Structure formats: structure tokens, C-alpha cells
Structure 1
Amino acid sequence: MILVAGPYRSGTGDDPHKLEANVRAMNESALVLFRAGHLPVTGEALALPLLDAAGSTRPGDPLFDEIFHPVAEQLLARCDAVLRIGGASRGADRMVARARSQGLAVYTGLADVPAAR
């Protein structure tokens, strides 16, 4: 199971179209991983529906802070590796640092990910 970590809010000014583009980039990388035989996951795929159900009204509101990164951190604890994509992102960099501290593999490009077993 590989966590795809990339920018969500970074550089977007919280513009919904830019946020959506960042999620799409993570999902596109996840699809490549899936087709290569891996089980890809994103924190956004789990956190965003929870935020909606909780009544979050915007990125960075108290519910966002309660749910968004903690979901990714809990998910990472179950993963075997991280694929870091995209540009600057404190959250994605935090996932990479946590992965390394847990001894997980960290890949910085799709070409670096070994074939699924």
C-alpha cells in the first residue's frame, strides 16, 4: 500500500479549482500505481468526505485542522511506502519525514517505484 503525498492547499490560495487540480494529480499518480499492481491511497480520499460529513466549510477551519492531517498520519501508519509528488507542501513533506522515521520506502517519482510483487 503506497500513500501518494502531494500538495493540497499549498500555492492555491484555497481556490477550489486549484485544490481540485491537486487532488486530480494525486489520483492520476494513484491510478498509475494501481495499474502497476500496487494499492495506492491518498489521505484526501478519506479526509475530504469526512470533512464534508462533519460540516467543514473551508480548508483551514477548525474541523479541517481536526481531521485532514490526522487522517493522513493514521493512514501512513498502515502503508508500506510513500510516493511524493508535486511541488512545495509542508503536509506532504511531513508525511515523507514520518515515513522515513518509520523506516518506510519513499519514492520521488513514479519511475522509482519498483514493480509490485
Structure 2
Amino acid sequence: PDLKPCPGSPAVRILLKNPDNIKVYAAQATAQNGVGVAEGSLVLDERAPLGTYVIAAEGTYDPDLLAEMEVAVDEYVLPKFEVTVTPTEEFLLPKSKTLSGVVSAVYSYGEQ
């Protein structure tokens, strides 16, 4: 609550709740190197429902210590882009073996 690392290496319980508020993951983690930071990872099943998930950390040494964060899980959609080829020569002879030019791609939201 005071935004300071906990003394020692306290354990925290990590919970993940799906959009239906069902607990789908629980684990205990211990802060590393005495700095009050714990890490972990989880890969959701491809059949997991899309929506807003809640990640919660509960202090095992202090039950009143609780931090929560909402995370949006959406279907990944590849960004759309347009590819343009600009030849360096205006004409190409039939016996030419190479074609030179500049290729550029622009995402639909304007970045190159």
C-alpha cells in the first residue's frame, strides 16, 4: 500500500480470473533478490474466452495487501498494409535479366 518493497522476500499469491470472473490460474511467487518484485508467465489456451481478465496479487504475509490489474485479451489481427514497387528504370527490355526498384510498405494506420 505504501509503494515500498516488502522486507525480505515475501511470498505473494497470483490469481487470474477470466471475463466470467472464474479463477483460471493460481500460483505462489516469491520476490527475487529482496527487491519486492516477483515475475511469472502464463500462456492462455487458444480456446480461452476473449474479454477482460483480472490479474490479482495477494500478500501471503498480509491478507489486506491486494493489487489488481485488468488486461484485455482480444483476437490477434495482422495489421493491414499496402506494398508498392517503384522500378528504377522506366522501361524494361525483353532480354533484361534483372529488375531494380524500391519496395515500400505502409500500414493502414500510416506507419512505414
Larger Rg, first or second structure (1 or 2): 2
Greater relative CO (CA pairs within 8 A, separation 6+): 1
* TM-score normalised by structure 1 residue count: 0.25
Structure (1/2) with the larger strand percentage: 2
